[in-house]
């Protein structure tokens, strides 16, 4: 198992949840993401509030949606605001 240096992690504690959507439209949702590490290959390692690390490979998703605890929402890769789903 790979060990991560703590300074490689990015805080995500302002996000309520994030969703990864793959090419066929299937959505993978992570509630209460706390921090993320992005590898050199683009793989995302996201730790949630329960300490579970979710691994999302760069090729596994087409769209990434962020939903901020303050009501802001974003879609990546274009990083454009979208209507809040809540």
Please tell me which residue, 85 or 3, carries the higher pLDDT value.
3
Is 43 within a domain?
A: yes
Alpha-carbon distance of 75 to 9, in angstroms, equals: 21
* Segment 20-79, tens digit of pLDDT: 988 888 899 999 999 999 888 888 999 999 999 999 988 878 888 888 888 777 666 543
Per-residue pLDDT at 2: 59
Per-residue pLDDT at 79: 35
Per-residue pLDDT at 78: 40
Per-residue pLDDT at 84: 42
Q: Domain count for the chain, please give it.
A: 1
Could you tell me the residue range of the domain that residue 31 belongs to?
6-78
Convert the chain into a string of H (helix), E (strand) and C (coil). Answer: CCCCCHHHCEECCCEEEEEEECCCCCEEEEECEEEEEECCCCCEEEEECCCCEEEECHHHCCEEEEEECCCCEEEECCCEECCCCC
Q: Which residue has the tokens 């949702």?
A: 29
Is 35 within a domain?
A: yes
> Residue 85 pLDDT more than 50?
no
Partners of 30 in beta bridges: 18
């Amino acid at each position: 198992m790979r060990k991560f240096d703590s300074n490689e992690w990015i805080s995500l504690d302002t996000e309520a949840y994030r969703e990864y959507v793959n090419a066929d439209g299937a959505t993978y949702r992570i509630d209460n993401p706390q921090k993320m590490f992005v590898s050199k290959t683009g793989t995302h390692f996201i730790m949630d509030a329960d300490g579970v690390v979710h691994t999302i490979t760069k090729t596994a998703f087409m769209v990434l949606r962020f939903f901020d605890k303050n009501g802001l929402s974003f879609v990546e890769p274009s990083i454009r605001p979208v209507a809040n789903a809540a």
